């Protein structure tokens, strides 16, 4: 069945997390994403810690499913010319090099749009292509820190404690999602006008936009410390209320996260407990002999939003995650069959699934060059021998 982006060809020059997450979303939605790596392999293939699986890190496998791969030496004139040929038949180029890198290589946006005026060129970086910080290096944690997220994360754990970094590289994945959405918007605009464009996606900009606390400050003029102190004073003067039974609660052998401020659920809990007002300590006493699944089921039956707090390994075995088809089995050339995380959104007319493994280095060199550029197998072999392309 045809997928939403099945007529779109993307040249993916990204590495690490931010860029590959963005292009993986496009690939999952049906775009033909051709991952361009140097002959020695991209940074994402090498694990920062842990082992390699099938020649790559587990992160690489997570972020590069449904893609094809080419390994081209862009430090050679012949390699650059090969890349330019691919640009002419592509719709999108995505890169997350430091600003100015593509220009130094001779394949910046101005050059590429001369080759293909309809090209959509997405430049992903830590601080953007302009501004006083544009040349600074960045990772997820750096963007989170500048945007106020790290201070907020720490204060949510302990108002008097130190800042804390967010887990899961949210500063990569959230901006990567924003980049994918923006690329699709640019494709839509091109569909209507025939005009391509450049997209400048900065992690810091995106993380700033994701921080709702900024709007609170802009509206009130009060910083977060002041607002938190005022909120705490209001709690003291108005009594416990519903909000105070929420949060992370310890149970037998684990924890749950309870969002205990849904009025209907609170009223039902009062009836079950036979009380006029909810006492947080009484709630803790009620569930202390339950394990996290029993406690979660209890509050879910009451009508309060709740979940057992799971490790990622436990989430992989969770009945709801499995019922939602979030884990699928795919085939890898060297590892055989293995399980992978599926695309999370369900489409009624164009179902989306992860179907192919994260590619081996240069795995699709011949397919791309023969099928799209009309090269002969002999020409491909010649490029391989000369070191212009490479494969695992």
* H or E stretch at 12: strand 9-13
**What pLDDT score was predicted for residue 244?**
60
Residues 6 or more apart whose Cβ sits within 8 Å of residue 34: 9, 10, 11, 12, 67, 68, 69, 70, 86, 90, 364, 368
Predicted pLDDT at 363 = 96
Point out the residues of the chain with pLDDT beneath 50: 240-243
Check: CB of residue 239 under 8 Å from CB of residue 233. no
Please state, in angstroms and rounded to a whole number, the distance separating the CA atoms of residues 374 and 380: 10
pTM assigned to the model: 0.92
Tokens of 286: 């009620």
Taking phi first (over 0 means left), then psi (-120 to 50 degrees means alpha), and beta for anything else, what does residue 303 get? left
pLDDT tens-digit readout, 19-49: 999 999 999 999 999 999 999 998 889 887 7
CB atoms within 10 A of CB 166: 17
- Residues in Cβ contact with 35 at an 8 Å cutoff, skipping those fewer than 6 apart: 12, 23, 42, 64, 67, 68, 69, 70, 359
Number of alpha helices (DSSP H) and beta strands (DSSP E) in the chain: 18, 14
What is the pLDDT, as a whole number, of residue 51? 83
The residues, ordered by sequence, that sit 6+ positions from 148 with a Cβ below 8 Å of its Cβ are 208, 211, 213, 214, 224
d(CA 376, CA 105): 27
Q: What is the pLDDT of residue 43?
A: 86
Tens of pLDDT, residue by residue over 85-97, are 999 999 999 999 9
| pLDDT score, position 241 | 46
Report the pLDDT value the prediction gives residue 242, as an integer from 0 to 100: 46
Residue-range domains of the chain with CATH: 9-210+320-390 (3.40.50.10540), 240-314 (3.30.1540)
Rounded distance between C-alpha atoms, residue 47 and residue 41, angstroms: 12
């Amino acid at each position: 069945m045809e997928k939403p982006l099945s007529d779109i060809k993307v040249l993916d020059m990204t590495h690490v997390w931010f860029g590959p997450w963005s292009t993986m979303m496009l690939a999952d939605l049906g775009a033909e994403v051709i991952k361009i790596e140097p002959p020695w392999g991209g940074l994402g293939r090498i694990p920062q810690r842990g082992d390699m699986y099938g020649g790559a890190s587990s992160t690489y496998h997570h972020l590069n499913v449904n893609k094809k791969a080419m390994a081209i030496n862009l430090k050679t004139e012949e390699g650059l010319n090969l890349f330019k040929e691919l640009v002419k038949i592509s719709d999108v180029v995505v890169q997350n090099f430091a600003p100015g890198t593509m220009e130094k290589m001779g394949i910046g946006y101005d050059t590429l749009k001369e080759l293909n005026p309809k090209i959509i060129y997405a430049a992903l970086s830590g601080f953007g292509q302009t501004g006083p910080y544009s040349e600074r290096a960045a990772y997820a944690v750096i963007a989170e820190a500048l945007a106020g997220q790290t201070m907020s994360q720490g204060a949510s754990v302990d108002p008097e404690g130190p800042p804390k970094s967010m887990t899961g590289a949210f500063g990569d994945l959230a901006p990567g999602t924003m980049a994918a959405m923006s690329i699709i918007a640019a494709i839509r605009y091109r569909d209507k006008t025939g005009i391509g464009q450049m997209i400048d996606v900065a992690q810091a900009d995106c993380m700033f936009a994701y921080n709702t606390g900024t709007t609170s400050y802009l509206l009130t003029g009060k910083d977060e410390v002041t607002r938190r102190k005022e909120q705490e004073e209001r709690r003291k003067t108005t009594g416990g209320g519903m909000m105070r039974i929420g949060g992370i609660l310890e149970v037998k052998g684990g924890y749950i996260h309870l969002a205990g401020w849904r009025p209907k659920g609170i009223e039902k809990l009062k009836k079950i407990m036979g009380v006029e007002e909810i006492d947080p300590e009484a709630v803790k006493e009620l569930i202390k002999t339950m394990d996290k699944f029993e406690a979660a089921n209890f509050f879910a039956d009451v009508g309060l939003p709740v979940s057992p707090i799971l490790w990622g390994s436990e989430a992989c075995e969770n009945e709801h995650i499995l019922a939602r088809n979030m884990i699928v089995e795919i085939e890898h050339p060297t590892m055989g069959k293995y399980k992978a995380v599926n695309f999370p959104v369900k489409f009624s007319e164009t179902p989306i699934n992860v179907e192919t493994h994260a590619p081996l280095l240069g795995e699709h060199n011949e397919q791309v060059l023969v099928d799209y550029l009309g090269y002969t197998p002999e020409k491909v072999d010649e490029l391989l021998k000369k070191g212009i392309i490479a494969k695992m």
